[in-house]
Amino acid sequence: MGEQQILYVTERGSFASDDLATEEGLLTLMFIRCPDDKKMRIGVWIGTDPDPDRPVDEIDFSGTIADRETVRGFMSQFETCRG
């Protein structure tokens, strides 16, 4: 994407914190690389699982945070390699 390279992985399951109730969903962890830059940039995106009870290989993840084009569209609004 432009000058940045984004490597990402999406997991599904339960997420909890001290301040929030436990939620089922998807979590996308992004590692962002910029040319000629040694800084580590990461992004975390939590979203809805389209069908939590269905096996992963039976779900169409199009349009979710697990979809390459959705990640591309969302991240295109940020200038992560500036500054």
- Could you give the 3-state DSSP secondary structure of residue 13? strand
Query: What is the per-residue pLDDT for 1?
Result: 62
Q: Tell the burial category of 21 from Cβ atoms under 10 Å away from its Cβ (0-12, 13-18, 19+).
A: exposed
Tell me the pLDDT tens digit for each residue of 24-81. Answer: 899 999 999 988 888 889 999 999 999 989 999 999 999 999 999 999 999 999 888 8
pLDDT of residue 80: 85
- Full-model pTM: 0.83
Q: Would you say residue 83 has pLDDT above 70?
A: no
Q: What is the mean pLDDT of residues 5-27?
A: 85
